[in-house]
């Protein structure tokens, strides 16, 4: 899979193109990864609640068929859309999510940042006090082990998300149709973060959103996108 860079593209036509690609693909269709930026837009997931959209003002809100609640896309953010046949890849949705998160974590590590999973809250988070610390999160915050989730031995399975001291830097929102994925993930590089204050990001009131720039990493969008594209191609491989 060689990532395709689409540049700055409107959300709605890209969403339509993903749907059309997925509907038309056959067992022989090659997997693709689309990487782009979007002009300012809020996107709402299938189960999204209007109460989480506080004050969109002049930013459009688009209803989608992905999972999750509301999120924001805007310039300075990398948005990646893996279009994969999971049956051919040989793994299931939970592992797909784990692999996407791992690609995000490895991308952050490339720039010296330690990304963390939080149990029950898909996406990647960083310590606000020290994003470069390699120390593990407290046990009640740690991301659950997928194998432990499946066999019921995960000791954190009943705890709710704990975001204290954390900022969200990478978001996920996926759709799987006929074993094929679309929608995807976003990594905040250097963007105007103010629009996140007009929503409850991913449905969590008070969840702080950060980008690489605000935690002290100065990197060009294209450089970060190149790294993320390579990590996705590596970790999503069969």
CATH number where 184 lies: 3.30.930.10
Give the number of domains in the chain: 1
Residue 139 banded pLDDT, cuts 50, 70, 90: confident
Asked if 126 and 166 touch (Cβ cutoff 8 Å), the reply is: yes
Q: What DSSP state is assigned to residue 203?
A: G
- Catalytic positions, please? 202
Q: What is the pTM of this model?
A: 0.90
**Digit-coded pLDDT (tens) for 33-70:** 999 999 999 999 998 999 999 999 999 999 999 999 99
Domain of residue 98 covers 4-235
Nearest to 87 by CA among 43, 28, 130, 145: 28
Segments of 119-236 assigned E as strands = 121-127, 166-177, 180-188
Residue 195 banded pLDDT, cuts 50, 70, 90: very high
Asked if 65 and 158 touch (Cβ cutoff 8 Å), the reply is: no
Q: Which residues share a beta bridge with 105?
A: none
Contacts 24+ apart (CB under 8 A), 143-152: 143/101, 143/116, 143/117, 143/118, 143/119, 144/117, 144/119, 144/120, 146/94, 146/95, 146/98, 149/94, 150/94
CB neighbours of residue 121 within 10 Å: 20
Q: Rounded CA gap, 104 and 117, in Å?
A: 10
């Amino acid at each position: 899979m060689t990532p395709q860079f689409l540049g700055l593209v409107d959300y709605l036509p890209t969403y339509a193109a993903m749907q059309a690609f997925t509907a038309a693909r056959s067992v022989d269709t090659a997997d693709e990864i689309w990487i782009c930026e979007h002009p300012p837009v809020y996107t709402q997931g299938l189960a999204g609640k209007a109460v989480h959209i506080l004050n969109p003002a002049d930013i459009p809100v688009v209803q989608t068929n992905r999972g999750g609640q509301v999120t924001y896309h805007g310039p300075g953010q990398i948005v990646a859309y893996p279009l994969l046949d999971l049956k051919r890849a040989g793994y299931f949705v939970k592992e797909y999510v784990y692999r996407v998160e791992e690609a995000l974590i490895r991308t952050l590590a490339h720039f010296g940042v330690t990304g963390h999973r939080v149990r029950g809250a898909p996406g990647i988070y960083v310590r606000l006090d020290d994003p470069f610390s390699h120390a593990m999160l407290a046990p009640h915050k740690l991301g659950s082990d997928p194998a432990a989730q499946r066999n019921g031995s995960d000791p954190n399975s009943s705890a709710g998300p704990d975001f204290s001291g954390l900022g969200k830097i990478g978001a996920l929102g996926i759709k799987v149709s006929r074993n094929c994925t679309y929608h995807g993930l976003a990594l905040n590089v250097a963007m105007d973060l103010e629009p996140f204050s007009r929503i409850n990001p991913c449905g969590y009131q008070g969840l702080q959103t950060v980008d690489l720039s605000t935690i002290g990493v100065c990197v060009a969008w294209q450089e970060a996108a190149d790294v993320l594209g390579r990590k996705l191609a590596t970790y999503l491989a069969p």
